[in-house]
């Protein structure tokens, strides 16, 4: 009986963790290349979720396509915001201003969504969350299978992209040393735009994946974003493998804390882990970058 | 030259119409203040309250009551103490209402109570269940909804007697209302001889309930699962419990018990998972009284949706004010006194009689519903 | 200093003395210009936010540390002082001092922990600290009552000075004077601090920490000091918040509060002391003034913030300087 519970919670943790990884990947990408925190990331996730919802309910699309729709919506929004807000601010040189701008964007988006979509929670149902498989005393839904499959595929694709394509390598070059990369003929502005678009697309897609799991209101993203920040740091800013590991770890912490303690302690454990990491290993679980002044 | 004369005439005309306007606005309106959350996570309460109020006002103002018409002004109290206090002060300073209705969230209501009491304006509440709202005895606060003690004691007793429940797992959000309700259930249930095998509290920001459902599944034989949370999370819990095979809808044996907050329409969103759910509702849309049937019909016609208990509560609050006016009240103090003397007001949610602490003690406001396999409600006539 | 420089400094300091006097006068008169309990509440919230913004500004604008944990110090001040009063019978001012000290020490503790971290790491560490504090306030129900809340918190005890009428802080105007007066005092003290050699040291660290260290400045110690001061001021704001609202729930100190305070500092003008004062006042009153727009008022708030950051990053202070330059630099106006 206990073994079943442990195994079940492990599955729960991995499913949840995969979702967190999807959200955190976008953040880590942006940080890696721009050295910037994007507080509006959560709201891209929420918007992706709503885009998927309306695609299904207004346009009659199916769930799997809606994930792609959310991805595109996220990408477009990211491109637009980069153009109007992030790019102009980058030239001002301050580290802080873009961060505040993202807070402003976040406030705008949340309240615009509140005004358009209203505060009443939307029930995002997919046929996949109703299908339950029971194996050896454990259960999982078709939805969780989809989550794991899509997450794994996305992560693999992203990984391959970063390691093997020219653009991917260029992104990593800009992340490591912007000046030198510029000198070598890589256009940083273009790459930065690409990063933001990619990151927002990931966020949008994560929103569509999260929508059946989340309570869907304009504030939905906020509930996830703080953990996403923690994951990015625990895994190491800008480090894809670390983020994946950290995301899964946080998912597992969440399910096992619920089982053996109390859901209220989840945030405390996760952030205690965060602070421990910062104290003893600030570069994250898997260090790839060496920074002289962390 | 010309211009000055023309201006003078216009000015006089303006003053005249203004004077006439104020004169007609002055005669016989009862000003109602509405403190509801319109922004933030509680915003959907406010939206639904407005609907119920609009319907009631529309009906009443067709003929007026005792020569009085009713007007309302809303302020956004955002379900939280500081914005609620500010909204209350703004309302009192600028609109000067004769009576105020609101809030929904216990925290906000507790914050505004002293403010309206100091201004000597009565407050009618229908959404907050915390016992602290009426228990200490505030002459200016009236609650028409059964408080957490009334509901909790009743449902625990019914579960033990009518459902033969002996073991329970409590699931509640960690707010005033959630914790308070869970506590009352536990005390009553254990006093009767039942056993609470687990108590799991969660914050409003928890989204995934699979882990919680797994824990419940591993807790041994569970007869009832009292669940105290808002609709959004409630939906996820029910589905997760079904996926984990814990509740009837998922092939298990446990019955979820709920109170307040879960409106009609929950089942359609939850699907099969909601089968067997037993809950207290403050509004029974299958109630056969003419008043209720008319309310449902008119609400559907106006808003193209089925009324929820929030709509119904708001509607009743206005009707109660009208009833007080019918009995002779006309300003803040007389409304307060007349309300306190209410003995047998009939609203769509049930009857109202206030005890010494201005709590409505009529038990017919507690209706029990069970969800049938076809997702419609079966009214269990336990009260 | 040369004679001219000395004369200029003398002029500026007398200038400043008048400015303080003017500020005190404005504070005294405001409640009679903006009357009614609604406005009195708004003014008091402004005063509390001014305190919070000043505290953060000291850490951020003067010591250059990105602190996202100001909400934690705010909450700690509020809860520690209130619990000492309600559970242990402390007198108000004793609890006040304790609350401020506790908050200040927490700031020191966080700084010691995080001070090796730069930039975004420090930001996230302070955010993490804020989350943990909020969660502890929320979950340690036996101590803090958690989401059940603490109600009916009494105002500071009345002051009876010989020969004068008793000052009761149940009177909202009196409470406003107390908090605004305290904020003015804090402003004065910080102003002195900033103009002293300590201020120069902090600026040196903010501009270029490595060079400053090479000059023998113990950057760590000073950063910890700045955090302590800023946190203490934030804690003081909390100690006033509790008796003002009368109700204490953990959600009042959620991390979004940190972002709000940060916005006030930025919009006002980081790196100056007067900027955050105006930033706090503006961002407190703006949502209230925009209430009539209804659902969209909070969108405007976000838009305003973004626009300021995009076009006027020095905040209101920068805007003011531009306007003043325009006025003084423009040729004489024609009739």
| CATH code (residue A265) | 1.10.3470
Let me know whether C106 and C19 are in one domain.
no
Chain A residues with CB under 8 Å of C298 CB are: 107, 110-111, 114
Least confident residue range of B54-68, B130-144, B252-266, C247-261: B252-266
Confidence of residue A287 (pLDDT cuts 50, 70, 90): low
Total structural domains within chain C:
2
Is the Cβ of A31 closer than 8 Å to some Cβ of chain C? Answer: yes
B306: left (phi over 0), alpha (psi -120 to 50) or beta: beta
pLDDT of the residue at B15: 46
For B355-367, what is each residue's pLDDT tens digit? 888 898 888 888 8
Tell me, yes or no, whether C93 and C166 share the same domain. yes
Q: Are C107 and C71 in contact (CB under 8 A)?
A: no
Report how far residue B114's alpha carbon sits from residue B133's, in angstroms, rounded to the nearest whole number: 11
Strands B255-258 and B278-281: parallel
| Distance of alpha carbon C60 from alpha carbon B378, whole angstroms | 61
Cα–Cα distance measured from residue A30 to residue A25, given in angstroms and rounded to the nearest whole number = 9
Burial B265-283 (b: 16+ CB within 10 A, else e): ebbebbbbbbbbbbbbbbb
Report CB contact under 8 Å: A118, B207: no
Q: Does residue C26 sit in the same domain as residue C44?
A: no
Question: What's residue C284's pLDDT?
Answer: 86
Q: How far apart are CA C335 and CA C324, in angstroms?
A: 21
- More confident site: B380 or B142: B142
* Residue with more model confidence, B300 or B282: B300
* Interface contact A118-B44, CB threshold 8 A: yes
Residues of B near C (Cβ–Cβ under 8 Å) read 38-39, 76, 80-82, 85-86, 89-90, 92-94, 107, 110-111, 114, 132, 174-176, 179-180, 203
**pLDDT tens-digit profile of A64-113?**
888 899 999 999 999 998 888 877 777 666 667 777 788 788 878 888 88
Q: What is the mean pLDDT of chain C?
A: 84
pLDDT of residue B12: 46
Could you say which of 3.60.15.30, 3.40.50.10420, 3.30.360.10, 3.40.50.2300 is the CATH number of the domain covering B2-146+288-352? 3.40.50.2300
How far is Cα of residue A45 from the mean position of the Cα atoms in its chain?
8
Cα–Cα distances (Å) from A102 to A38, A84, A86, A105, C121, in that order, read 6, 12, 8, 5, 17
In sequence order, the 6+-apart residues with CB closer than 8 A to the CB of C244 are C44, C48, C155, C175, C179
Examine the domain organization and report whether C11 and C152 are in the same domain: no
Tell whether B221 lies on the interface with A, counting CB pairs under 8 A: no
CA pair distance A81, A44, nearest whole angstrom: 11
Per residue in C235-250, pLDDT (tens digit) is: 999 999 999 988 888 8
Task: Provide the number of structural domains found in chain A.
Answer: 1
Q: Please tell me the distance in Å from B80's CA to the nearest CA on chain A.
A: 16
Nearest to B236 among A132, A215, A224 (CB): A215
Same domain, C126 and C215: yes
What is the distance in angstroms between the Cα of C221 and the nearest Cα belonging to chain B? 38
Residues, chain B: 383
- Whether C239 and C109 share a structural domain: yes
For the segment B265-278, the average pLDDT, to the nearest whole number, is 82
Candidates C70, C43, C30, C36; CA nearest to C285 is: C43
Residue A183 has pLDDT above 70, yes or no: no
Asked whether residue C120 is assigned to any structural domain, the reply reads: yes
Region A154-175: mean pLDDT is 78
Statement: residue C261 has pLDDT above 60:
yes
Instruction: Answer whether A51 touches C (CB < 8 Å).
Output: no
Same domain, C89 and C12: no
Q: Is the pLDDT of residue B2 over 70?
A: no
Alpha-carbon separation of residue A60 from A53, A56, A57, A66 (angstroms): 10, 5, 5, 10
B145 pLDDT above the threshold of 90: no
Please state, in angstroms and rounded to a whole number, the distance separating the CA atoms of residues A251 and A17: 4
Same domain, C13 and C56: no
In a domain, C268, yes or no: no
Which segment of A254-258, B194-198, C165-169 scores lowest on mean pLDDT?
A: C165-169
Contact C41 B114 (CB under 8 A): no
Residues of chain C with pLDDT > 90, as a percent, come to 28
How many angstroms separate the Cα of C320 from the Cα of each of C8, C12, C13, C275, C312?
22, 18, 21, 10, 10
Is the model more confident about C90 or about B231? Answer: C90
How high does pLDDT run on average in chain A? 82
Hey, where are the domains in chain B? 2-146+288-352, 149-281+366-379
Looking at beta carbons, which residues of chain C come within 8 Å of A230?
124, 128
Test C249 with B107 for CB contact under 8 angstroms.
yes
Integer Cα distance of B250 and B241 in angstroms: 7
pLDDT in tens, A243-284: 889 999 999 999 999 899 888 888 888 888 888 887 777 677
Distance from C-alpha of B30 to C-alpha of B68, rounded to nearest angstrom: 7
Confidence class for position C187, pLDDT limits 50, 70, 90: very high
Q: What integer pLDDT is reported at residue A294 of this predicted model? A: 34
Going by C-beta distance under 8 Å and a sequence separation of 6 or more, which residues neighbour residue B355?
A: B361
pLDDT in tens, B5-16: 454 444 444 444
A: neighbours with 3+ CB pairs under 8 Å? Answer: B, C
- The arithmetic mean of pLDDT across residues C132-152, rounded, is 85
Instruction: Indicate the range of A142-146, B235-239, C9-13 predicted with least confidence.
Output: C9-13
Q: What CA–CA distance (Å, rounded) separates B348 from B292?
A: 5
Which two three-digit tokens encode residue A182? 């510029």
Q: Looking at beta carbons, which residues of chain B come within 8 Å of A129?
A: 239, 243
pLDDT at B275: 87
Q: Nearest to residue A193, comparing CAs of A216, A167, A219?
A: A167
C78 and C185 together in one domain: yes
Give residue C106's domain range.
37-255
Is C212 an 8 Å CB contact of chain A?
no
Q: How many whole angstroms from its chain centre is CA B164?
A: 30
pLDDT at B105 over 90: no
Domain containing A27: what range?
2-292
pLDDT in tens, B35-70: 999 876 677 788 899 999 999 999 999 998 888 999
* C28 and C133 inside one domain: no
The count of CB pairs under 8 A between chains B and C is: 66
Q: Which of C117, C135, C263 comes nearest A100 by C-beta?
A: C263
Q: Give contacts of C113 with chain A, Cβ < 8 Å.
A: 275, 278-279
**Cα–Cα dist C258/A96, whole Å:** 15
The confidence score (pLDDT) of residue B120 equals 93
Same-domain check for residues C142 and C178 = yes
Residue C168 in domain: yes
If one compares B113 and A218, the residue with the highest pLDDT of the two is B113
Among C47, C60, C43, CA closest to C259: C60
| The pLDDT value given to residue B292 | 92
Q: Which of C222, C255, C288 is the last residue of a domain?
A: C255
* B129 contacts on C by Cβ (under 8 Å): none
SS3 C35: coil
Which residues does A212 contact at the CB level (< 8 Å), separation at least 6? A124, A125, A126, A128, A129, A143
Q: Return d(Cα A201, Cα A154) in angstroms, integer.
A: 11
State yes or no: pLDDT of B379 exceeds 50.
Answer: yes
* Cβ contact A111–C299 (<8 Å): yes
Residue A186 pLDDT class (50, 70, 90 cuts) = low
Is the separation of the CB atoms in B127 and B310 below 8 Å? yes
Beta-bridged to residue B173, according to DSSP, are B202
B269 vs chain A: nearest CA distance in angstroms?
A: 6
C330 has a pLDDT exceeding 70: no
Residues C76 and C169 in one domain: yes
Assign 3-state DSSP to chain C and report helix, strand, coil percentages, each to 5: 80, 0, 20
User: Which of A98-112, B347-361, C34-48, C265-279 has the least mean pLDDT?
Assistant: A98-112
Given this structure, which CATH class describes domain B149-281+366-379? Answer: alpha beta
Q: Count Cα atoms within 13 angstroms, Cβ side, for A106.
A: 23
pLDDT band at residue A292, thresholds of 50, 70 and 90? very low
Inter-chain touch C132–A272, beta carbons under 8 Å: yes
Check whether C296 has a pLDDT greater than 80: no
Out of C255, C272, C288, pick the residue that ends a domain.
Answer: C255
């Amino acid at each position: 009986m206990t073994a079943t519970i442990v195994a079940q919670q492990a599955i729960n943790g991995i499913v949840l963790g995969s979702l967190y990884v999807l959200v955190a990947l976008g953040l880590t990408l942006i940080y890696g290349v721009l050295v910037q925190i994007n507080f509006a990331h959560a709201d891209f996730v929420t918007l992706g979720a709503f885009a998927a919802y309306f695609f299904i309910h207004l346009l009659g699309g199916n769930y799997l396509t809606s994930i792609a729709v959310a991805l595109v919506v996220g990408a477009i929004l990211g491109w637009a915001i980069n153009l109007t807000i992030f790019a102009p601010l980058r030239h001002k040189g301050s580290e802080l201003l873009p961060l505040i701008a993202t807070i402003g964007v976040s406030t705008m988006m949340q309240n615009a969504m509140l005004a358009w979509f209203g505060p009443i929670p939307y029930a995002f149902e997919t046929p996949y969350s109703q299908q339950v498989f029971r194996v050896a005393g454990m259960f999982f839904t078709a939805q969780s299978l989809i989550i794991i499959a899509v997450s794994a595929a996305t992560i693999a694709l992203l990984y391959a992209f970063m390691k093997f394509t020219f653009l991917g390598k260029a992104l990593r070059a800009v992340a490591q040393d912007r000046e030198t990369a510029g000198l070598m003929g890589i256009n940083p502005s273009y790459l930065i735009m690409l990063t933001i678009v990619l990151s927002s697309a990931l966020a949008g897609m994560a929103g569509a994946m999260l929508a059946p799991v989340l309570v869907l209101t304009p504030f939905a993203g906020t509930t996830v974003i703080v953990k996403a920040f923690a994951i990015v740091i625990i895994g190491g800013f800008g480090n894809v493998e670390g983020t994946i590991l950290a995301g899964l770890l946080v998912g597992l912490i969440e399910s096992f804390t619920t089982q053996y303690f109390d859901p209220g302690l989840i945030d405390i454990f996760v952030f205690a882990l965060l602070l421990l990491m910062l104290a003893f290993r600030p570069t994250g679980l898997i260090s790839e970058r060496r920074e002289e002044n962390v | 030259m010309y211009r000055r004369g023309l201006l003078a005439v216009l000015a006089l005309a303006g003053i005249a119409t203004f004077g006439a306007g104020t004169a007609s606005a002055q005669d016989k309106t009862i000003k109602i203040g509405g403190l509801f959350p319109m922004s933030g996570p509680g915003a959907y309460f406010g939206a639904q309250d407005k609907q119920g109020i609009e319907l009631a006002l529309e009906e009443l103002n067709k003929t007026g009551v005792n020569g009085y018409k009713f007007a309302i002004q809303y302020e956004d109290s955002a379900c939280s103490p500081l914005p609620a206090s500010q909204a209350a002060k703004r309302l009192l300073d600028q609109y000067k209402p004769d009576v105020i209705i609101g809030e929904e969230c216990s925290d906000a209501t507790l914050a505004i109570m002293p403010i309206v009491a100091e201004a000597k304006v009565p407050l009618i509440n229908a959404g907050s269940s915390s016992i602290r709202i009426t228990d200490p005895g505030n002459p200016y606060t009236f609650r028409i909804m059964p408080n957490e003690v009334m509901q909790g004691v009743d449902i625990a007793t019914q579960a033990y007697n009518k459902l033969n429940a002996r073991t329970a797992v409590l699931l509640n959000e960690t707010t005033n209302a959630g914790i308070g309700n869970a506590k009352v259930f536990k005390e009553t249930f254990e006093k009767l001889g039942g056993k609470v095998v687990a108590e799991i509290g969660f914050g409003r920001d928890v989204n995934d309930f699979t882990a919680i459902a797994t824990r419940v599944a591993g807790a041994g034989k569970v007869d009832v699962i009292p669940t105290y949370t808002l609709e959004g999370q409630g939906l996820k819990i029910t589905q997760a419990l079904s996926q984990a095979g814990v509740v009837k809808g998922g092939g298990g044996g446990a019955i979820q018990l709920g109170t307040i907050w879960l409106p009609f329409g929950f089942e359609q969103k939850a699907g099969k998972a909601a089968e067997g759910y037993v809950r207290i509702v403050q509004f029974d849309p299958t109630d056969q009284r003419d008043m209720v049937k008319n309310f449902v019909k008119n609400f559907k016609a106006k808003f193209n949706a089925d009324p929820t208990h929030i709509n119904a509560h708001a509607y009743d609050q206005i009707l109660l004010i009208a009833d007080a006016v019918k009995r002779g009240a006309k300003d803040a103090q007389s409304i307060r006194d007349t309300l306190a003397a209410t003995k047998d007001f009939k609203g769509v949610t049930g009857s109202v009689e206030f005890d010494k602490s201005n709590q409505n003690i009529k038990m017919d406001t507690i209706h029990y519903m069970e969800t049938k396999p076809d997702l419609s409600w079966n009214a269990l006539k336990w009260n | 200093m040369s004679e001219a420089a000395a004369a200029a400094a003398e002029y500026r300091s007398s200038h400043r003395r008048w400015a303080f006097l003017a500020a005190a006068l404005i504070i005294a008169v405001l409640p009679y210009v903006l009357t009614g309990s609604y406005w009195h509440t708004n003014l008091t919230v402004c005063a509390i936010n001014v305190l919070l913004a000043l505290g953060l500004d000291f850490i951020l604008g003067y010591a250059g540390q990105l602190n996202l944990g100001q909400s934690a110090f705010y909450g700690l001040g509020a809860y520690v002082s209130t619990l000492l009063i309600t559970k242990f019978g402390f007198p108000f001012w004793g609890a006040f001092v304790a609350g401020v000290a506790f908050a200040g020490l927490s700031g020191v503790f966080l700084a010691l922990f995080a001070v090796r971290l730069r930039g975004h790491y420090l930001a996230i560490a302070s955010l993490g600290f804020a989350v943990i504090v909020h969660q502890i306030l929320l979950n340690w129900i036996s101590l803090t009552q958690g989401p059940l809340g603490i109600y009916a918190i009494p105002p500071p005890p009345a002051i009876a000075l010989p020969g004068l009428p008793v000052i009761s802080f149940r009177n909202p105007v009196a409470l406003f004077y107390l908090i605004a007066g305290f904020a003015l005092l804090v402003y004065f003290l910080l102003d002195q601090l900033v103009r002293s050699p300590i201020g120069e040291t902090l600026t040196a660290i903010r501009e270029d920490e490595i060079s400053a260290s090479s000059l023998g400045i113990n950057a760590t110690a000073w950063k910890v000091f700045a955090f302590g001061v800023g946190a203490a001021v934030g804690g003081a704001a909390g100690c006033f918040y509790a008796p003002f609202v009368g109700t204490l729930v953990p959600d009042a100190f959620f991390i979004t509060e940190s972002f709000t305070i940060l916005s006030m500092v930025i919009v006002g003008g980081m790196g100056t002391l007067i900027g955050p004062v105006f930033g706090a006042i503006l961002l407190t009153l703006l949502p209230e003034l925009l209430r009539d727009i209804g659902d969209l008022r909070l969108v405007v708030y976000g838009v305003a913030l973004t626009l300021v950051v995009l076009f006027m990053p020095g905040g209101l202070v920068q805007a003011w300087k531009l306007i003043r330059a325009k006025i003084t630099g423009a040729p004489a106006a024609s009739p």
